[in-house]
């Protein structure tokens, strides 16, 4: 199956700074609109989810990856293909749980937080929580219910940023026909 290499939208490069700044403006506006950080986190996750359920189609249309039959495969695709494609970074995969249903994505450098310093009054804000929503939404569309959350964040003084992914179940009821 041949894929056209040059696509109109792909060749367009845009400043990653503008992207980072836009995301910053979004989060600060949410902080103004909502009283507490919990609500902001929730909103970010919701927005991410809505992005994820659409982004997955773009990802599948473009990357030519097939269905994953194992969570380890999924982890690999997320880190090596998806993150690379959309954020230009390749997180490392570590801390597998013995049952193989949980792992961590370690982001050594998170492009969303390039210029960010978290003020003291927003100590419980999860600044990049959008990413968790994206992961959750995208995987839900390929019939995988997962939980994604930040457990370490460089903004909060940790040395790395860590997203913990937990596999919950396969969503069998909307499995498309012909997919076992």
Residues that bind other proteins (CB under 8 A): 1-4, 7, 9, 53-58, 60-62, 66-67, 141-142, 174-180
**In whole angstroms, how close is the CB of 22 to other proteins at the nearest point?**
14
Structure tokens at 26: 């979004």
- Residues 63 and 8: their CA atoms lie apart, in Å, by 16
Sign of CA dihedral 137, 140, 142, 148: positive
Structure tokens at 3: 């894929």
- Residues 34 and 40: beta-carbon distance below 8 Å: yes
**In whole angstroms, how close is the CB of 120 to other proteins at the nearest point?**
34
**Closest CB to other proteins among residues 70, 179:** 179
**Closest CB to other proteins among residues 1, 14:** 1
**In whole angstroms, how close is the CB of 159 to other proteins at the nearest point?**
36
Q: Which helix (H) or strand (E) holds 87?
A: helix 83-87
**Closest CB to other proteins among residues 89, 175:** 175
């Amino acid at each position: 199956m041949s894929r056209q290499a040059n696509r109109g939208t792909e060749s367009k490069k845009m400043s990653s700074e503008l992207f980072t700044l836009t995301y910053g403006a979004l989060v600060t506006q949410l902080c103004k609109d909502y009283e507490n950080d919990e609500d902001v986190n929730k909103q970010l996750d919701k927005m991410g989810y809505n992005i994820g359920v659409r982004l997955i189609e773009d990802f599948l249309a473009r990357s030519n990856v097939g269905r994953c039959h194992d969570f380890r495969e999924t982890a690999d695709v997320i880190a090596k293909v998806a993150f690379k494609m959309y954020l230009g970074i390749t997180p490392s995969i570590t801390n597998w749980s013995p049952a193989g249903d949980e792992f961590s994505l370690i982001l050594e450098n998170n492009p969303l937080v390039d210029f960010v310093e978290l003020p003291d009054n927003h100590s419980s804000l999860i600044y990049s929580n959008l990413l968790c929503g994206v992961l959750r939404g995208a995987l839900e569309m390929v019939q995988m219910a997962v939980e994604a959350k930040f457990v370490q964040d460089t903004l909060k003084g940790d040395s790395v940023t860590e997203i913990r992914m937990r596999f919950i179940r396969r969503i069998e009821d909307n499995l498309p026909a012909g997919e076992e």
